[in-house]
Amino acid sequence: MATSTVENYLKATLLHEQENDGIVPMGALVEALGVVPGTVTTMVKAMAAQGLMEHESRQGVRLTPVGRALALGVLRKHRLVETFLVRTLKMDWSEVHDEAEALEHAVSNRVLERIDEFLGHPTADPHGDPIPNQEGVIADTATQVTMQGCAINKSLRVTRILDQSPDFLAYVQDTGLKPGTRVKVLRREEASGVVRCETKIGHEIALGLTAAAKIVVGAVA
Domain(s) of CATH 1.10.10.10: residues in the chain:
4-63
- The predicted-structure confidence for 167-206, as pLDDT tens digits, reads as follows 999 999 999 999 999 999 999 998 899 999 999 877 899 9
- Rounded to two decimals, the pTM is 0.91
Q: What is the pLDDT of residue 200?
A: 81
- Reported CATH class of domain 4-63: mainly alpha
Give the burial string for 173-210 (b: 16+ CB within 10 Å, else e): eebebbbebebbbeebeeeeeebebbbeeeeeeebebe
Alpha-carbon span 139 to 136, nearest angstrom: 10
How many angstroms separate the Cα of 26 from the Cα of each of 39, 40, 64, 181? 11, 7, 16, 38
Domain(s) of CATH 2.30.30.90: residues in the chain:
145-219
CATH number for region 145-219 = 2.30.30.90
- The predicted-structure confidence for 21-54, as pLDDT tens digits, reads as follows 789 999 999 999 999 999 999 999 999 999 999 9
How many angstroms separate the Cα of 139 from the Cα of each of 73, 79, 145, 147, 159? 14, 13, 14, 20, 13
Within 21-64, residue ranges assigned H as helices are 26-33, 37-49
